[in-house]
Amino acid sequence: MSTALVLLTIGLTLFTAGSWVALNIRGAAASLERRAAANAELAMHARGDLGPARRVASAGFYRFLGTVIALCGTVLTLGGLLESL
């Protein structure tokens, strides 16, 4: 399997997933925020701490990470296109 095909596949996958979260399509960033809060609460209950769960990350942080991942996907995709020439 050629390097160009691998870079194109991984780059397009990263671009799609990152864009999905960065643009908050169908509430992706908000649901990641709710999931992180629920996991933090479950971990605290497992340790025996019944207080309020601390906030791990906001939806804005997940949107920022999605933007970074989408940009990395763009770089990999362009690298795959240049490799195929």
- The per-residue pLDDT for range 15-25, each reduced to its tens digit, is 999 999 999 88
Task: Please check the confidence at residue 1 and state whether its pLDDT lies above 90.
Answer: no
Q: What are 47-85's pLDDT values in tens digits?
A: 888 888 787 788 889 999 999 999 999 999 999 999 888
CB 2 within 8 A of CB 10: no
What six digits make up the tokens of 81? 């296109």
CB 27 within 8 A of CB 11: no
Give the pLDDT of residue 57. 84
- Nearest residue to 62 via CA among 18, 29, 20, 14: 29
